[in-house]
Amino acid sequence: MQAIMETVFDAAYLATVITLGVRMIRHSAGGQFRLFGWMAAVLGAGDAFHLVPRALALCTTGLENYTVALGLGKWITSVTMTVFYLLLYHVWRQRYQVRGRAGLTFAVYALAAARVGLCMMPQNRWLSADAPLSWGIYRNIPFALLGLVIIVLFFHSARAQNDRAFRWMWLTIVLSFGFYIPVVLWADVAPAIGMLMIPKTCAYVWTVLIGYFAMKKEEQK
């Protein structure tokens, strides 16, 4: 039952975010919404590297027989999620017509570089069945800080400009990290905590839908 339900959920998620991303790339007039489309496409394509092997494992011989494929997929997803937040940062700059602020941009890219650099360290042992928790924490510290920066930026900008379309963007990111962090810390000792990845995934779908519906509304004016 878990295999069927999880596979259907993941397939629906990937189909939704990739389809919406492609539609935004193809049908937007450019600028922030085309960038948002690439962001959604990167999200879906990156997650597919982990979710597709996981679905195969659940529906066949079990997760323990797909350790390398799952680890490689998780590795790729960790990098593409970082790219996702870099693109979201540039969506913020375009939507609110931000100019300058080189220090902020440097900080965002420095956190992203630190995250990717830590993901590339062999100590992560991505392809091993007993990857260390400590490195899972290390590589997620700059990632969480990057997310915090994006949360603050969207929270203040949406409020300052009364941007109703993006007024909950900050909350979707808060929820995604709120559900993700317990999985990083405790899923190995309490596997049931891994179920939090479901609402975390829903939070990302909400993020993509915010951009898609904003595009549909603003480009009909």
Q: What pLDDT, on the 0 to 100 scale, is given for residue 151?
A: 97
Q: How far is CA 76 from CA 3, 80, 206, in A?
A: 23, 6, 22
Question: Which residue is associated with the tokens 């091993």?
Answer: 128
Query: 151 to each of 17, 76, 136, 157, how far by Cα in Å?
Result: 21, 24, 22, 10
Torsion of CA 141, 142, 143, 145, to 10 degrees: 90
Task: Kindly list the structural domains of the chain, giving each domain's residue range(s) and its CATH number in brackets, ordered by start.
Answer: 2-218 (1.20.1070.10)
User: Which residues of the chain fall short of a pLDDT of 70?
Assistant: 1, 220-221
Q: For residue 180, what pLDDT is reported?
A: 93
Q: Which residue has the tokens 């909400």?
A: 206
Place of tokens 């993509």: 208
Angstrom distance (rounded) from CA 148 to CA 141: 11
Coil vs helix vs strand at 214: helix
CA distances from 47 to 42, 134, 189 (A): 8, 23, 24
Task: Compute how many other C-beta atoms are within 10 angstroms of the C-beta atom of residue 152.
Answer: 12
Q: Is the CA virtual torsion 114, 82, 156, 184 positive or negative?
A: negative
So what's the pLDDT on residue 113? 97
Q: What is the pLDDT of residue 59?
A: 85
How high is the pLDDT of residue 154?
97
d(CA 63, CA 45): 21
Contacts of 186 (CB under 8 A, 6+ apart): 193
Q: What is the pTM of this model?
A: 0.93
Instruction: Tell me which residue of 35, 38, 44 sits closest to 17, measured CA to CA.
Output: 44
d(CA 168, CA 210) in angstroms, rounded, equals 8
Q: Residues near 81 by Cβ (< 8 Å), separated by ≥ 6?
A: 43, 46, 143
Q: Please give the Cα distance from 138 to 134 (Å, whole number).
A: 6
pLDDT digits (tens, 9 = 90+) for 70-84: 999 999 999 999 999
Enter the DSSP assignment of 219: T
